[in-house]
Structure 1
Amino acid sequence: MTTFFLPSLFGLTCLVGIILIFNGLRGLVRRVLYVPDFKKDSRGTVRTVEGGGTRFWGMVCLAAGVLFVLVGFAGFQRVYEFQNSPAFLRYMVPAPDGYEILYSMAANGGYEIAYTYPSNAADVRQRFLDRLREEGWTIATDTPFSVVAQRGEHCLTLSFVGWSGEERRSFQAKVIVSYSTNPDS
């Protein structure tokens, strides 16, 4: 929804605003210049009538158009900023329970988040795979240490870096998730 519907909605809002601005200006210009309308009456005779529209409705259309364009542009910008932030990655890939975020940063034209888990790497890997499948991702590449998942134009690379600790119960599985919109990267 966020990747397609909202940008389309805000783009449509801008388009409606532009149409309203055009109609408002057209109405104001016609009224100020007294541009006549030519209409046929019931007998087919062409008659000249006073310029269409009123100054008030022209100004209302103009103001509404400007408002629509501003709202559409601001909304589109907010969606763009969200899609280019680590928060979007957390939205795209809801991680399994029990994680802690080590860091999140922009990287390689996308961004990445590192998670740690208080369990072994194989268990965490399986939980991530299950969660990705639940969210509709297609697993393109699956190796013991990395997974590449795709959904439309979105591409995720999960790297299972390893774990630390001396006893099994204190192991920390570390997962780095990198996101990009180019499946070939």
Structure 2
Amino acid sequence: MDAISRIEGHAYPFGRANVDTDIIIPAVYLKTVTRDGLGRCAFEVIRAEPGNIFDDPRYRHAPILIAGRNFGCGSSREHAAWAMADMGVKAVIAPSYSDIFAGNAFKNGILAVVLPQDAIDRLMQVAQDSTITIDLETQSVTTPFQDRFAFEIDPFRKFCLLNGLDEIGLTLEDSAAIAVHEARTRDQAPWLAHQY
């Protein structure tokens, strides 16, 4: 997982509320076990609409998506986070999220920022023509027009995202202690080290 400190760029001014995981990635694409290529299938239903923002060249490869309340509701498909990451989204800003989606986003290196609706409305305006900056270290979202919105984040999630640590990375942080434990176990209980 890549470390996240500062995300700056254009943002998709999506803004829709109650966007479920089936809209983010339709069920027909859940047969894959790889993450590669899912980005082109993300928001397929929305992309079928004329003039949609996901095919607008102004927002192509935007690292930020601005959404409405209850983003990522519905089924608990991790493919939704995979698809968004594959399309280049590194952060979502919304008033609220489904708990499962927020967890899946975090585990896949996507920052889920919670801001009130008035901040979302302002960012939707700014995103039409200007960039937005998210600074995870200072927990703030800023615009070129001196807007500054503070957000809260769980300290553990902040630490993991800043250091690019997923569950495997966290485990490897303790590899020295794990090696000592395994050596001691081999000495004290050699029958546990039997190879099958």
**TM-score bracket, shorter-length normalisation:** under 0.3
Structure with more contact order per residue of length (Cα contacts < 8 Å, sep ≥ 6) = 2
TM-score (structure 2 length as normaliser): 0.23
Asked which structure has the greater CA Rg, the reply is: 1
Higher strand share: 1
